[in-house]
Structure 1
Amino acid sequence: MEETQKSYLPVFLFMFAAIYILARFVVFRTWSPKTRPEASSCLISLAHGTPAVVLAVGAVLSENIGFASPNTAAQNLVLDYSIAYFLTDLLHYLVFFPSDVLFIGHHLATLFVFLTCRHVVSHGAFAVLSLLILAELTSSCQNAWTLAGARRSDVVFAAKLHRLLSPPFYALYSLVRGFAGPYFLYQMAAFYLSGAADTVIPRWVWVSWIVVVFTAISVSILWITNLWVELYRERTGKLEKKTS
């Protein structure tokens, strides 16, 4: 029990804060003041996304596998890692983009799920980390796409990279958020609705998890749908110009 309760949150908070500072004042120091904060956020997202997927895959394949299983030390480690990232990025948005209520709300809701799983019920990390894997599978591609998009107006290579990445990124994101995510959420909801976890995860906790995840998936589907529409209009407009 002592091993599973040990928290590495302070260590990870320091790490993500250091990466953010390095990004802002060294890696992207030549970028404009307008794009530098977003780029710094992308770098800590890159530092979180793929490592979190690798760590989470190993953690969910540990001996305690199930929607109501107690958290293992490995699972709690990944939760601490992700909590530290979202706290750091939340602070970034509060300082530089306080009007971006969508991202701030997303980070607060995600932190609620992670913190209740880690410190309130100490069960259900299999479900939470499985959702984290699905959410972060597209992280590397999304951040590369975002960074390219931030410089596409003044760097030719960035514009080409952004155009190149858009279709595969949209396709992967649609597959994960539009199909895999909803299917896993259905399995998760069906299990919790059966009452099988009520003795270890209070109903108000798992209901809030379902609501948060359902809302996040719905917003993601709306977001990617709008991007597909924009891409279609952009490509159609260019085709019409060539043929006119």
Structure 2
Amino acid sequence: MDLPLFFLMFLIIYLSAHFILFRNWASKLRSEAASCLISLAHGTPAVILAYFAISAKEKFSFADTNTVFQNTVLEYSIAYFLMDLCHYIVFNPSDVLFIGHHLATLFVFVTCRFLVFHGAYGILMLLILAEVTSFCQNVWTLSSALKGESEFARQVFDVLSPPFYAFYSVVRGFLGPLFVYKMVGFYVSGGADNVIPRWVWVSWICVVVAAISVSILWICNQWIELYRRRLVVGDKEKKIR
């Protein structure tokens, strides 16, 4: 089992970011940057690993037995979410939304990996859809946190926001729901009832639907905030003229 090694890896990255790379940053920014760094170490690699773990098989099914490689990718993500959960419990215990998200995500990954040993195809596809925006989101998050102190960060934030929002909207607002629709159709038809207990896949679907709903709400709020910022800038330019 690779889970302890993966967790140790994320712990080392987190501590290195907190006490070495960002040691001169303010405490709150330092912890947020450390969280972003382990997210960067997880997101894009997880997408690549999940893609190869899925494409290694010619045919896919939501009821397939997990392969060894698929289990390894699941453990990689479990380790990351455990590490980031520790971060939120220590530094942001009031952020109930993110803590709840991490706990729910861990439930899905852990039950797929250690309880039913089936269904990794669907879970890893959802992982790809969730993490494909990770790099952009972490750069956006860091630039947002620093934009009040750095002109460069503010420029990165302003330039990155519209394409990031558009990319996120397509993935979370269209591709994610479309895949979940196919996933629900398969499970409701009974295609996995002999290998995945009904309560397990129903729980998975509930978690995924809730996560996608929150993501859509979040990106809608970001679009609204962007529109408001553009209105403020437009009003200032009119006054200058």
State the TM-score bracket (shorter-chain normalisation): over 0.9
Alpha-carbon distance between aligned partners in 2 of 1:230 and 1:148, rounded to the nearest angstrom:
16
- Which of 120, 124, 127 is equivalent to 2:115? 120
- Which of 22, 26, 37 is equivalent to 1:28? 22
**Cα deviation per residue 1:124-148 (whole Å; 9 max; x = unaligned)?**
0000000000000000000001111
Q: Which residue of the partner structure matches residue 139 of structure 2?
A: 144
Query: Is 2:37 the partner of 1:43?
Result: yes
| 1:62 to partner: Cα distance | 2.0
Q: Which residue of the partner structure matches residue 185 of structure 2?
A: 190
Runs of 5+ unmatched residues, structure 1: 1-6
| 1:92 to partner: Cα distance | 0.4
Alpha-carbon distance between aligned partners in 2 of 1:137 and 1:72, rounded to the nearest angstrom:
22
> What is the DSSP-based 3-state SS (H/G/I as helix, E as strand, rest coil) of the residue aligned with 2:28?
coil
Q: Which residue of the partner structure matches residue 4 of structure 1?
A: none
- Could you list the structure 1 runs, at least 4 aligned residues long, displaced by more than 3 angstroms after superposition: none
Q: Which residue of the partner structure matches residue 214 of structure 1?
A: 209
- Which of 219, 227, 231 is equivalent to 2:226? 231
> What is the DSSP-based 3-state SS (H/G/I as helix, E as strand, rest coil) of the residue aligned with 1:189?
helix
Structure-1-length-normalised TM-score: 0.96
Alpha-carbon distance between aligned partners in 1 of 2:236 and 2:30, rounded to the nearest angstrom:
34
Q: Which residue of the partner structure matches residue 17 of structure 1?
A: 11
Q: Which residue of the partner structure matches residue 199 of structure 1?
A: 194
Alpha-carbon distance between aligned partners in 2 of 1:131 and 1:89, rounded to the nearest angstrom:
19
> What is the DSSP-based 3-state SS (H/G/I as helix, E as strand, rest coil) of the residue aligned with 2:27?
coil
| 1:240 to partner: Cα distance | 1.6
Q: Which residue of the partner structure matches residue 161 of structure 1?
A: 156
| 1:10 to partner: Cα distance | 0.5
- % same residue: 63
> What is the DSSP-based 3-state SS (H/G/I as helix, E as strand, rest coil) of the residue aligned with 2:65?
coil
| 1:34 to partner: Cα distance | 1.7
| 1:150 to partner: Cα distance | 1.0
Alpha-carbon distance between aligned partners in 2 of 1:178 and 1:195, rounded to the nearest angstrom:
27
Q: CA RMSD in A?
A: 0.7
- Which of 165, 171, 174 is equivalent to 1:170? 165
Alpha-carbon distance between aligned partners in 2 of 1:196 and 1:135, rounded to the nearest angstrom:
25
Aligned residue pairs: how many? 238
Runs of 5+ unmatched residues, structure 2: none
Q: Which residue of the partner structure matches residue 2 of structure 2?
A: 8
Structure-2-length-normalised TM-score: 0.98
